Amino acid sequence: MASLPILPPDSSPETIAEATAKEGACIIEGVLDDATIDRFLAEADPFVDATPEGRDDFSGRHTRRTGALVARVPSSREIVMNPAIVAAANTFLAPYTNLIILHLTQTIFIGPGQGSQPLHRDRLAWGGYIPRSIEPQFNTIWALTDFTAENGATRVVPGSNHWPDEQRAESDQICQAEMSRGSVLIYSGSVIHSGGQNNTEAVRKGLNITYCLAWLRQEENQYLSCPPHIARHLDSELQALLGYTMGNYALGYFSDPDMSMGKGAGELEPEQLTGGRSDGVAVPSSGANYREGSWQ
| Residues 6+ away with beta carbon under 8 Å from 1 | 172, 175
Residue 279 inside a domain? The answer is: no
pLDDT for 104 equals 97
- Residues 169-188: pLDDT tens digits? 999 999 999 999 999 999 99
Statement to judge: residues 95 and 133 lie in one domain: yes
d(CA 213, CA 229): 25
- Residues 202-251: pLDDT tens digits? 999 999 999 999 999 999 999 999 999 999 999 999 999 999 999 988 89
Instruction: Give the total number of structural domains in the chain.
Output: 2
Statement to judge: residues 117 and 255 lie in one domain: no
pLDDT for 296 equals 33
Statement to judge: residues 66 and 95 lie in one domain: yes
Statement to judge: residues 43 and 117 lie in one domain: yes
pLDDT for 7 equals 98
pLDDT for 268 equals 86
pLDDT for 258 equals 75
Domain of 23: which CATH number? 2.60.120.620
Residue 170 inside a domain? The answer is: yes
Indicate the burial class of 139 (C-beta count within 10 angstroms; 0-12, 13-18, 19 or more). buried
Domain membership of residue 200 as a residue range: 6-213
Q: Which residues in the chain show pLDDT less than 70?
A: 262-265, 276-296
Instruction: From 92, 98, 103, 101, select the one nearest 135 (Cα to Cα).
Output: 92
Residue 89 inside a domain? The answer is: yes
Statement to judge: residues 51 and 103 lie in one domain: yes
- b/e burial code for range 85-104 (CB count within 10 A of at least 16 → b): bbebbbbbbeebbebbbbbb
pLDDT for 295 equals 31
Statement to judge: residues 196 and 235 lie in one domain: no
Residue 291 inside a domain? The answer is: no
pLDDT for 79 equals 98
Residue 152 in contact with residue 204, Cβ under 8 Å? yes
Statement to judge: residues 153 and 251 lie in one domain: no
d(CA 234, CA 238): 7
Statement to judge: residues 181 and 43 lie in one domain: yes
- b/e burial code for range 30-52 (CB count within 10 A of at least 16 → b): ebbeeebbebbbeebeebbeebe
Residue 139 in contact with residue 104, Cβ under 8 Å? no
